[in-house]
Structure 1
Amino acid sequence: MKLLYVNNTSFLSGGGGGEERANEITKRLAANGHEVTVLAGKTDPELPNETVDQGRRFRHVTCVPVFVFKYGSLGYFLSRYLFAFVSLPIVIGLLYREEFDAIAETMTPYPTFVVLAAKLFGVPIVATRHEFFDRSCYDVYDPLTATIQLTVQNFLRIFEYNAIVVPATHVKQQFVDYGVPEERLTVIPNGVEYERYRRPAIESEPGRLVVVGRLTKRKRQDRLVRVVRRLRDEGSDVRLDVAGDGPARERLEQMVEELDLDGCVTVHGFVDEERKIELLNRAELFVFASTQEGFGIVLLEAMAAGLPVVAKRLPVYEDFFVDGENGYLIQDDGSGTDEFADAIQQLLDAPAIEEETKARNMRTAEHYSWNAVTDQTEAVLAATIA
């Protein structure tokens, strides 16, 4: 198949779980012999306009002048917001010059206008939607992003996508209730290279906690910092590694200083895959307080590394995580630290239960692989062409 993948952020410049998923799938599709072109926003000014990476042809769309990137995260977010508009004539040009068998739009986090071009040229289009948005998204996103998400989410009802892929059963049901025909929805979970994550040669350190994720309001790393402060006040020698970067970093680092946690909480910023794996294997527990996720791939990665997990309860975890068996899911409004701290301390105080949970989590992660996810995605794409 000759495939066009469209995403507002390049897979080659970090991003979140959605970009990671698309990156892993497109690598394997290319390895399987498919011709893959990726059209993405230039959210990093250092990205080349065109390049080939692991069998995929990348074309990066410049959405803002380079100087805008000097103003913190302004360049990144403007590029994401403007990509839908700037990319449309480029998509039309690509479809005019080349014959693609199918288009895959990965929607991280919202749709572009590529569906209009797909319909114009009669090319099948498959959307991957990572989560469903309702008005609660105003609680976790800035007003502009939340408004865009709620507005353009209607594309999934208005336009007849040939197929819509979602990562969890819960998300599928939300879209069915929203009015999207069930026959167009397919659940394909996220994957994990589970064999990479367990590193027995790296010894875990007692009391060391780790969280991985972009530093944004909805990820709530600030809450975990407060949990560490409480546990240390109660005499527990816990430390926290925070892996990730984002607009909330400065505020988070200021909080660490204000709570006198220098040396106890380390904000590492963006880390590459090897460094992330090292941090996971050094830790005793994985902690995660995010208030909204499309799947929760970082939980699976932690489980593959053999870590028990303490996370805020979200319905999307139910497909692969059992509360009390893989760790603990905290059911609260996110305003306090008591339940989180209690669950963490309970695991730290029970080595036998912790070891049992580690073994169970590694077995669970084995059921999810990127090869299986790619095979399922390949089947959906092929079905739209047939």
Structure 2
Amino acid sequence: MRILALSYEYPPLGGGGGVALAHSARAWAALGHQVTLVTSGATGLAAYEQLGSVALYRLPVLARHARATASLASLLSFPLAALNFVGKQQWQRSDFDLILSGFAIPSGVAGVILARAWRRPHVVWVMGGDAYDPSKRLSPHRLPLLKQTVAQVLNRSQAIITMSHDMAQRVAQIYRPATPIHVVPQGLALAPYAPQPRSGGPVTVVCVARLVRRKRMAELVQAVAELPPQSVRLIIVGEGPQYGPLQELIASHALSDRVQLVGYVSDEEKLALLRCADIFALVSEHEGFGLVYLEAAAQGLPIVAGRVGGQTDFLRHGVTGWLVAHDQPRQLKAALAALVAQPALRAWMGQQALQMAQRYEITRVADDFLKVLYDTEQRWKTFAA
């Protein structure tokens, strides 16, 4: 199959949605499919890369200055940039079998227009915040114009894919599309399980995330601050608009010896930090899926996560770790305290998490995604004939 994928975010820009597409594109290419991917560019990133059988094009967009978050200007300019680029490339409908948009907006706007012009099937991959983000005043589900735009993209597509049942339910309830919704869990090219020997000292809790309000980092810092000083330390990996406020919070509570903000790190550095940790904690207000939980679980870490969101498809309370309410600090503190105090419980939950993560190896789930694409293409051909 020849797939043209449009996604306004792709590593190192953005978060889990772009990472999901990157893992999937490589897996599809490894299975013999042709993948052409068009995404946003930024200073210091190559305009073109050939990643095995994946052709990656990065386009200049307005005001994309940060890796972790997109500006409104960059969001609005991506559809026009993508359509203009495709036109200049002189690609034709015969070059591709299907168009896939990662994110309903802004990518899906360009995807729908291009699919109609080329008379090709369009599949939209709803990632999470492109349809629902409870922490944002400007979330698409709250603004009539954005809500209508998302609904139009969904209804003018031939298939909708979500990563979790949580997102499928929210898309169905909020936007009520006539287009069929398929739940396909995301997989990862999981790094080998290679825990590092522990040398005593405080228990290490690690959190990897974009530093945005939805991730509720301040509550995690507060919970660690209330645990016995010599028992635990926290390492926060990531960047974003909450970096400065977190620095101030850590300083105001004199926690610099217990809480470390390391900012952006490479994939190799992130893996090394996970392998040296004892617990992974990220209690977001909502996650569309939560790829980072799988990355942590693949290194045998027990997980403390929120009990609302896509991660509830694969994380089990009391088995792979604890699921707590994001707005109940006492629950978060109690979950961390239990794991810090009980090494045997940490080890058992970590092994349960490891076994779970192995079921989401990308080679195991790529076929499920491709089946949706293939079936959509075949239905389109039948309809077009």
What is the TM-score with the length of structure 2 in the denominator?
Answer: 0.88
Q: Does 1:361 align with 2:353?
A: yes
CA distance in 1: counterparts of 2:39 and 2:130, whole angstroms: 23
Partner of 2:210: 214
- Opposite residue 302 of structure 1, the aligned amino acid is A
- Opposite residue 52 of structure 2, the aligned amino acid is Q
In 2 relative to 1, CA 310–236 (structure 1 residues): closer, same or farther, beyond 3 Å? farther
Q: Does 1:115 align with 2:112?
A: yes
Q: Secondary structure at the match of 2:187?
A: coil
Is 2:126–2:162's contact at 8 Å kept on the other side of the alignment?
yes
Within the candidate set 126, 147, 160, 1:164 is matched to: 160
Q: How far off its partner does 1:317 sit?
A: 2.3
- Opposite residue 83 of structure 1, the aligned amino acid is F
Is 2:195–2:299's contact at 8 Å kept on the other side of the alignment?
no
- Opposite residue 239 of structure 2, the aligned amino acid is D
Partner of 1:374: 366
Q: Secondary structure at the match of 1:79?
A: helix
Partner of 1:27: 26
CA distance in 2: counterparts of 1:212 and 1:74, whole angstroms: 15
CA distance in 1: counterparts of 2:252 and 2:219, whole angstroms: 14
Partner of 1:267: 261
CA distance in 1: counterparts of 2:248 and 2:147, whole angstroms: 32
In 2 relative to 1, CA 218–322 (structure 1 residues): closer, same or farther, beyond 3 Å? same
> Deviations along 1:108-135, whole A, 9 cap, x unmatched?
765333202201211111111123777x
Q: Does 1:285 align with 2:284?
A: no
CA distance in 2: counterparts of 1:16 and 1:25, whole angstroms: 15
Q: Does 1:350 align with 2:349?
A: no
In 2 relative to 1, CA 70–213 (structure 1 residues): closer, same or farther, beyond 3 Å? closer
Partner of 1:154: 151
CA distance in 2: counterparts of 1:185 and 1:237, whole angstroms: 46
In 2 relative to 1, CA 124–75 (structure 1 residues): closer, same or farther, beyond 3 Å? closer
Q: Secondary structure at the match of 2:241?
A: coil
CA distance in 1: counterparts of 2:255 and 2:147, whole angstroms: 38
Within the candidate set 31, 46, 53, 1:55 is matched to: 53
In 2 relative to 1, CA 374–204 (structure 1 residues): closer, same or farther, beyond 3 Å? farther
Partner of 1:311: 305
1:36-51 alignment runs, 5 A limit: 36-42=35-41, 44-51=42-49
CA distance in 2: counterparts of 1:311 and 1:51, whole angstroms: 36
- Opposite residue 172 of structure 1, the aligned amino acid is A
In 2 relative to 1, CA 95–243 (structure 1 residues): closer, same or farther, beyond 3 Å? same
CA distance in 2: counterparts of 1:152 and 1:96, whole angstroms: 26
Is 1:211–1:242's contact at 8 Å kept on the other side of the alignment?
yes
In 2 relative to 1, CA 71–318 (structure 1 residues): closer, same or farther, beyond 3 Å? closer
1:160-309 alignment runs, 5 A limit: 161-177=157-173, 178-181=175-178, 184-194=180-190, 196-203=191-198, 206-232=202-228, 235-309=229-303
In 2 relative to 1, CA 63–132 (structure 1 residues): closer, same or farther, beyond 3 Å? closer
For this pair of structures, how many residues does the alignment match?
372
Q: Does 1:78 align with 2:94?
A: no
CA distance in 1: counterparts of 2:351 and 2:172, whole angstroms: 36
> Deviations along 1:202-246, whole A, 9 cap, x unmatched?
4376421010111111111121111121114xx452111101111
